Chain A
Amino acid sequence: EAQVTQNPRYLITVTGKKLTVTCSQNMNHEYMSWYRQDPGLGLRQIYYSMNVEVTDKGDVPEGYKVSRKEKRNFPLILESPSPNQTSLYFCASSFFRDNEQYFGPGTRLTVT
């Protein structure tokens, strides 16, 4: 089944403890992206990647890192999480940058 998977789905952590949210797609998509969703703000793009080893900042990149060493994987790294990063995170992918983006199921992160 074609899909975007994210792990973990739920995470509660403490301020400053490094964490990684994984994202994987099995559709051979070149383009991948991370968004965060906050009430009243919709989805905002954190980082995106046009292809392997090509990543770029979205609208809210502060406090996040990404890497794209393989085509299928696009992990989101929070080196020192803070409470303002408590949010719902979505990974998405598509064949080319202007095609339909397929979204993962989301990761709900709480930083205390």
Chain B
Amino acid sequence: AQSVTQPDIHITVSEGASLELRCNYSYGATPYLFWYVQSPGQGLQLLLKYFSGDTLVQGIKGFEAEFKRSQSSFNLRKPSVHWSDAAEYFCAVAVMDSSYKLIFGSGTRLLVRP
């Protein structure tokens, strides 16, 4: 069955430090992958997406993610975290057969220390 795993429920980093959020997916075909961010009390905003091509994708707010097919991973990275990055981050995979569904991971809450 298709699934997305985000193994870290919470991550705390210091402002200015680098960040990596992990995401592993299970999907038989070539995946369409997404990272969304949810700030407190807000809806979800797309950070970046991978459909095909270059496995390193750039997104908004200085985020990037790398697709690694051999590891079924799509980890999100940022070289220097800002306090405003504190939020919850969701990885998702699009399942496309006769239908279309987005399957989300359970999320990783990022806390930023001053």
Complex interface: chain A residues within 8 A of B51 (CB): 98
**With the chains together, A4 CA to B36 CA distance in Å?**
16
Which residues of chain B (11-34) have a CB below 8 Å from chain A?
32
Total interface residues on A, CB under 8 Å, equals 25
Nearest CB of chain A from residue B72's CB, rounded to whole Å: 18
Total interface residues on B, CB under 8 Å, equals 25
Tell me, yes or no, whether B55 is within 8 Å of chain A by CB.
no
Chain B 70-114 interface 0/1 with A at a Cβ cutoff of 8 Å (1 = within): 000000000000000000001010101001111111110000000
Which residues of chain A (33-61) have a CB below 8 Å from chain B?
33, 35, 40-45, 48, 50, 56, 58-59
**With the chains together, A33 CA to B51 CA distance in Å?**
20
**Cross-chain contact A42 with B106 (CB below 8 angstroms):** yes
**With the chains together, A88 CA to B94 CA distance in Å?**
21
**Cross-chain contact B96 with A103 (CB below 8 angstroms):** no
**Cross-chain contact A59 with B101 (CB below 8 angstroms):** yes
Interface-central residue, A42, A92, A103, by most chain B CB under 10 Å: A42
Question: Please, which residue of chain B has its CB at the minimum distance from the CB of A43?
Answer: B104
Tell me, yes or no, whether A74 is within 8 Å of chain B by CB.
no
Choice from B4, B6, B46, B96 contacting A101 with Cβ under 8 Å: B46
